[in-house]
Amino acid sequence: MDPPESPDSTRPLDARGVPTDAEHDVDPLVTAAAVDADTGEGELERTIGLGGALAIGVGTMVGAGIFVFPGLAAARAGPAASLSFAIGAGVALLVALPTAELATAMPHSGGGYVYVSRALGTGVGAVVGLGLWLGLVFASAFYLVGLGSYAGQVLVELGVSLSVRPAVPLGVAFGVALTALSLFGTENTATLQNAIVVLLVGILALFLSYGSLDALGVFGTETAPERFFPPGGALAVVQTAAFVFTSYLGFAQIATVAGDVESPGRTLPLAMVGSVLTVGGLYVVAIFVSTSAFGSARLGAFGETAMVEVARAFVGLPGAVGIVAAGLLATVSSANASILSASRMVYAVSRDGLVPETAARINRRYGTPHVALGLAGVPIVALTATGRVGLLAEVASVLHLVTYGLTCVALIRFRRERPGWYDPSFRCPAGVVVAGGGALASFGLVGFMQPMSIAVGGGVMAAAYGWYRAYATDVDLEGERT
């Protein structure tokens, strides 16, 4: 649709009636910064600094990778599972660098959805935006059930007998509490996230330092020699990398809350790359310590509780309780960051007209998108109440990997077309090559997921496109109803 003519000038007006310079491209998100006093819509408050952004990335990623996957991964790839985690970190970096460039060019809430919709069109953007919203909802519910499980396990380790499984009711209670915390101000969420991550990383640093020294024989403990690569060889290592890649979803959530980040040109690249490197290092050391303590076969038999048993072997009951407590902190952190990101995704697609604009309302007192928080928090709590979110968590990984691949494609398109408004303060080194590798790696890892997860993820994307065709085909790339 052509923009309306200004009555007193030959300069065209944009969709909000603001004159534009026809000789230059205009950032399609600039006009969205205007405040609508009647609806209460406006910009989010930028209250998250570098520490808070790092805490969101590290806090989201550190949970399952440290406390759930070591035993499961060792059963698949043996000691070479550490290489699987390193491969996952490499893929994450291939995506994090292009995402950082895009985020500094468009530092707005919505992350990959914003970049893909502006580069590849509203239809593809709708699939990504609505798919990520649901993916974050499913992932948040998964984290909350895990949070409830760890909370119950703390009581078990302390000798408290339980007549019912507490995971679901505790998870629901935490979901309500964390959603309410986000409603009363982003700085509250960031403060909680910072405190949790500092304490969590401190506990893990002590545990992994002791475990590494023990594995190296400093304390006189002998470890049985074990073949590094599993019988399946390199294929098993790559398959395990796809299996554990869900551990690396958190770095992109930093971009999702870019509208809340202070000094985004500096903060976003440092936080994304720093969180991947920090967490990747923790994962590799955790696998080394775990397989040295028990060997991969026995470690695999412990399953999801492997790290608790490793800590128990080192220092007895206090170690087990300490790791369970750390797992509790990790799942609180993951759930907290995911709820915040899910609400910002609703906010972003609403600002672009893909869902009713009511969802973009900002609470005048707290500066938070209260309607979007409700649209994220209510389904998260509902899914948590089912207690059956394992498959949905893996579906969330499929949806994120598709988004990562399309995000890399978006950078390639922006680099080639060079629109006048595209002026990132950070540029990815060898951007086209890195983005091409990130796209291939992301789409390739989807092929190693379970067929059911791929099918459900495809169904979610098809439903998102169906919603777009039914409701939002008259939305242009500037996010305005035409």
pLDDT in tens, 111-141: 788 889 889 988 898 888 888 888 888 888 8
- Extract the tokens encoding 130: 């609505």
Q: Residue 100: count other Cβ atoms within 10 Å of its Cβ.
A: 27
For residue range 1-20, list pLDDT tens digits in order: 444 444 444 444 443 333 34
pLDDT above 50 for 284: yes
Query: What DSSP string runs through 188-239?
Result: HHHHHHHHHHHHHHHHHHHHHHHHHHHHTTTTS-------SS-TTHHHHHHH
Q: What pLDDT was estimated at residue 147?
A: 78
- Asked if residue 83 is part of any domain, the answer here is yes
Higher pLDDT, 379 or 101: 101
- Asked if residue 358 is part of any domain, the answer here is yes
- Asked if residue 276 is part of any domain, the answer here is yes
Q: How far apart are CA 407 and CA 320, in angstroms?
A: 41
- Asked if residue 267 is part of any domain, the answer here is yes
Q: Which range of residues forms the domain containing residue 357? A: 45-390
Q: What pLDDT was estimated at residue 163?
A: 65
H-assigned helices in 68-185 = 69-77, 81-105, 112-120, 122-157, 167-183
- Cα–Cα distances in Å, from 153 out to 8, 316, 431? 70, 16, 46
- Asked if residue 34 is part of any domain, the answer here is no
Q: How far apart are CA 281 and CA 274, in angstroms?
A: 11
Tell me the CATH number at 297.
1.20.1740.10
According to DSSP, the residues that pair with 19 across neighbouring strands are 13
Q: Residue 262: count other Cβ atoms within 10 Å of its Cβ.
A: 14
Cβ atoms of residues 287 and 81 within 8 Å: yes
Any idea what DSSP says for residue 263?
S
Average pLDDT of the chain, as a whole number: 76
* Residue reference for tokens 């974050």: 136
- Asked if residue 433 is part of any domain, the answer here is no
For residue range 328-375, list pLDDT tens digits in order: 877 777 777 778 778 777 877 887 788 887 776 777 776 677 777 787
Number of domains composing the chain: 1
Q: How far apart are CA 458 and CA 29, in angstroms?
A: 29
Cβ atoms of residues 131 and 252 within 8 Å: no
Q: How far apart are CA 304 and CA 318, in angstroms?
A: 19
Lowest-pLDDT range of 174-178, 421-425, 478-482 = 478-482
Report the amino acid identity of residue 106. M
Q: How far apart are CA 119 and CA 63, in angstroms?
A: 33
pLDDT above 60 for 25: no
- Asked if residue 189 is part of any domain, the answer here is yes
Per-residue pLDDT, averaged over 163-189, amounts to: 75
User: CB-side exposure of 336: number of CA atoms within 13 Å?
Assistant: 32
- Asked if residue 95 is part of any domain, the answer here is yes
Q: How far apart are CA 32 and CA 293, in angstroms?
A: 55
